[in-house]
Amino acid sequence: MKKYYKPSIFFLSSTPFFLILYKIIFNKLGPEPVKEITHFTGEWTLLFIIFTLSMSPLKRITKLNIWISFRRMLGLFIFFYATLHMLTYVVIDYRLDLQSISKDIFTKKFIFVGFAAWLLLTPLALTSSKKAMMFLKDKWKKIHRLIYIIAILGVVHFIWLVKKDLTEPLIYMVIILILLLFRFKFKKV
Amino acid sequence: MKKIKYSEITPEKIYNNRRSFIKSLGFSAGSLAITSLPFVNNAIGSEQDNLTSYKDITTYNNYYEFGTSKGDPYKNSQNFKTKPWEISIEGEVEKPIKISMDEILKSFTSEERIYRLRCVEGWSMVIPWMGFSLSKLLSRVNPTSKAKFVAFESIYDPEQMKGQKYPVLNWPYKEGLRIDEAMHPLTTVVTGLYNKKLPNQNGAPLRIFIPWKYGFKSAKAIVKIKLVEKMPTSSWMWASPREYGFYSNVNPNVNHPRWSQATERIIGEGIWAPRVKTLMFNGYGDEVANLYTRMDLKKYF
């Protein structure tokens, strides 16, 4: 039974990707398709941050170690959706117009923060292998704590880009703050 | 007579292919022209090809009274009652009036006016509005010399407009223009689109449209037009004065914290269409730039 867990989580985690691919191919994205793809991939990035951060609290609550074994895969899906999100903006929306993009990064704070979050994700993705873990030893944990900062940057990115109705980003913020508090509390005990 | 060799005759199939090839060339050159000259002026009705589809115009709307998602206004406005409807024109005028929608439709002839709509969110449409110049309506009431600005007020009816149950904006929706902007012939009282009655989600029964300003300046479902001496505060200025100025002219040189104002996406062009450059005054500079001579439009954004 257990050997099916990981493949099923992999399969489930990739469904959003196939869903958006289907919508692109069959033209189901409405009048502003580029914005749809951007929001879709951005939202799934945040969701995977939440899934990833939920694993260690789940382990503590259920007292089952199995959760931790999903964490790396879920974390890599953060990077996967974040990269799609970034590429939608850079390649599809701005067609590699680096001048406009760099201007955006330095004049629009939500883009600056979003881009910073993606940059910070890269070393985590690169050091996700067992080999890297062995090689970095104690440093590995420290590096991967960056995810807490990335999670906050991701939510701030969402809050700053919303025009008026903050309900959705605030829901994400509350969930992520609760998940971060878990760490704090358990460390003290 | 020179004999044509059989081999010199182009087979029909290839001939037809050539035609369609040339046609496709022409077509792409045509659509290139559209993207490099994203400008449909008043009276230039020949650019019918670039009109945004009726479906996109009527299902992709910003109308927070009916919800904040783009599809909400279409979904939530179908039972909105627009009859009877009365508009009060008051303030610094010699003859304040209350005029019914029926009377407006009877007294003023609406004509087709194809204008570009540029939303502050960085997208645009080309819409065949039906309407007439606001100046005609305002001349009915004889504005006094104290009338320096015009304030528009939309309907407040949270029973029918469920978005108004939440304090997303400072209801009722308010907008304003300087008097010379309001009297400009391009400033339009809209009564319809695509030769049809104005759909509820587009601001029925009556809205204004100012083609050289960002879309939010064009208030929908108007019940009050007040001529005033002092600059009115619009709902969006109230919400965020740093982001939304009173003038809100389309201006690629004034940056916005969220959206690119230098470029825009044209609705309905699909996923692979490039952004196009946003034009100063949305391309209506020849007509309206003289309203703003000697004004620093970066300061008065």
Q: Which residue has the higher pLDDT, B43 or B194?
A: B194
A163/B265 Cβ within 8 A: no
pLDDT value of position A186: 56
Q: Tokens 């009173």 appear where?
A: B246
Pick from B262, B282, B251: which is nearest to A108 by CA? B262
Closest partner residue to B268 (CB to CB) among A31, A34, A160 is A31
The stretch B157-172 carries a mean pLDDT of 94
The amino acid at residue B134 is: L
Residue B300 has pLDDT above 90, yes or no: no
B118, B278 contact by CB (below 8 A): yes
Q: Tokens 């090689």 appear where?
A: A135
Which residue in chain A has the smallest CA separation from B254?
A: A107
A53, A147 contact by CB (below 8 A): yes
Work out the minimum CA distance from A181 to partner chain B, whole angstroms.
30
Closest partner residue to A163 (CB to CB) among B258, B267, B274 is B258
Which residue in chain A has the smallest CA separation from B269?
A: A31
pLDDT value of position B258: 85
pLDDT value of position B25: 40
The stretch B276-300 carries a mean pLDDT of 94
The stretch B258-282 carries a mean pLDDT of 92
pLDDT value of position A165: 84
| Selected residue of A165, A166, A167, A168 to mutate for chain B interface (largest B Cβ count, 10 A) | A165
Structure tokens that stand for A54 in this block: 């939920």
Per-residue confidence band for B30, with pLDDT thresholds at 50, 70 and 90 = very low
A30/B60 Cβ within 8 A: yes
pLDDT value of position A38: 97
The stretch B242-268 carries a mean pLDDT of 92
Pick from A112, A184, A115: which is nearest to A148 by CA? A184
Q: Give residue ranges of A with CB < 8 Å to any B CB.
A: 24, 27, 29-35, 37, 92-95, 100, 104, 107-110, 160-161, 163-165
B271/A110 Cβ within 8 A: no
Residue B196 has pLDDT above 90, yes or no: yes
Residues of B in contact with A166 (CB under 8 A): none
Residue A173 has pLDDT above 80, yes or no: yes
Question: What DSSP letter does each residue of A17-56 carry, written as one string?
Answer: HHHHHHHHHTT-S-S-HHHHHHHHHHHHHHHHHHHHHHHH
pLDDT value of position B106: 96
pLDDT value of position B177: 98
Residues of A in contact with B272 (CB under 8 A): 92
Q: Tokens 């009274």 appear where?
A: B65
pTM, two decimal places: 0.83
Q: Which residue has the higher pLDDT, A130 or B80?
A: B80
Q: What is the mean pLDDT of chain B?
A: 87
Residue B40 has pLDDT above 80, yes or no: no
B192, B134 contact by CB (below 8 A): no
Residues of A in contact with B169 (CB under 8 A): 164
Work out the minimum CA distance from A31 to partner chain B, whole angstroms.
5
The stretch A16-32 carries a mean pLDDT of 94
Pick from B60, B63, B53: which is nearest to B203 by CA? B63
B271/A92 Cβ within 8 A: yes
Asked if the bond preceding B257 is cis, omega within 30° of 0, the reply is no
A95/B274 Cβ within 8 A: yes
The CATH number of domain B50-292, selected from 3.40.1410.10, 3.10.520.10, 2.60.40.1120, 3.90.420.10? 3.90.420.10
Structure tokens that stand for B173 in this block: 């929706």
Q: Strand, helix or coil at A83?
A: helix
Closest partner residue to A109 (CB to CB) among B68, B121, B257 is B257
* DSSP E strand stretches across chain B: 86-91, 97-100, 111-118, 123-133, 149-154, 174-178, 188-193, 196-197, 207-209, 222-228, 263-266, 276-277
What pLDDT digit, counting tens, does each position of B109-134 carry? 999 999 999 999 999 999 999 999 99
The stretch B81-92 carries a mean pLDDT of 96
Q: Tokens 């022409």 appear where?
A: B26
The full set of domain ranges for chain B reads 50-292
Per-residue confidence band for B225, with pLDDT thresholds at 50, 70 and 90 = very high
The amino acid at residue B66 is: F
Q: Tokens 């308010």 appear where?
A: B174
